[in-house]
Amino acid sequence: MQRSDWSGSPISALMAAEHTRLDDLLVQAAGRDGAIDVKAYEDFRRGLLRHIAIEEKVLLPTVQQYRNGEPLALAGRLKQDHGALAALMMLPPRSATFRVTRAVLRAHNPLEDAPGGVYEACDLLVGQGVDEVLARCAAMSAVPVSPWIDSPKVLASVRRVLMRAGYDGKLLDPAYEDLGEW
C-alpha cells in the first residue's frame, strides 16, 4: 500500500512503520497462491487491534487534550473505521475478509499518516511531550483477541458495521469471494 514519505517526527515515523508492518502481514496472510497463512493472519489481527488501541487510547485523546478538549474533525470518521476494522477481525481468513480489510485500510491509513493527518497533528501538538507519548504507545499492552467466528449472524453484524462506516457490506458476500486480485 503506498503512503506518503512524510515522517516529520517520532510519532509519525513509529505509526507509519506500523502501517507498513501490518500491510505486509496482511499480504502474507492472504498468500500468493491462494494458500492462506493462518499464523500471519493471527499476527495481523493482534497487531491491528493493538494499533487501533494505541490510536484510540493514546493518540486521539492526546490530540484532544492539547486542543483544549476539542477533538480533531476527523476523529469520528477514524472511530467508525476502527470499529469496521475490529469487526472484520471477527471473521475467518478468507479472500473476501482480506479484500475488504485492505479496502478499509486504503481509505483509512492516509487520514492518519499523510501530511495533515492525525500523526502529524499529534507530532506538532505534543512538542516536548513526545517522549511521554511514545512511552505510552510502547506500554500499550496486547489486546485480547477472540477466535474468529464463521457464522451468518457475525457476518451480518460485520456488514452492518461496515455500512455504518460508509463501506459496501456486500463485498463480503460469497459471490465476491474470488473476484480477482485485491
- Residue 143 gets the label, from left (phi > 0), alpha (psi -120 to 50) or beta, of beta
pLDDT, residue 176, reads: 53
Taking the C-alpha atoms of residue 148 and residue 180, their distance in angstroms, rounded to an integer, is 24
Helices (H), the chain: 10-30, 38-54, 60-66, 75-88, 95-113, 118-126, 130-139, 152-164
φ and ψ at residue 139, rounded to 5 degrees: -80, -10
**Residues belonging to the chain:** 182
Q: Distance between terminal CA atoms of the chain?
A: 11
Contacts of 152 (CB under 8 A, 6+ apart): none
pLDDT in tens, 72-105: 999 999 999 999 999 999 999 998 899 899 999 9
pLDDT in tens, 12-42: 999 999 999 999 999 999 987 778 999 999 9
- Residue 90 gets the label, from left (phi > 0), alpha (psi -120 to 50) or beta, of alpha
pLDDT in tens, 123-137: 999 988 999 999 999
> What 3-state class would DSSP assign to 144?
coil
**What percent of the chain has a predicted confidence (pLDDT) above 90?**
76
Q: State the average pLDDT over residues 65-75.
A: 93
Please, how many CA atoms are within 13 Å of residue 116, restricted to the half-sphere of its CB? 3
151 near 88, Cβ under 8 Å? no
pLDDT in tens, 3-14: 444 445 899 999
Q: What is the pTM of this model?
A: 0.89
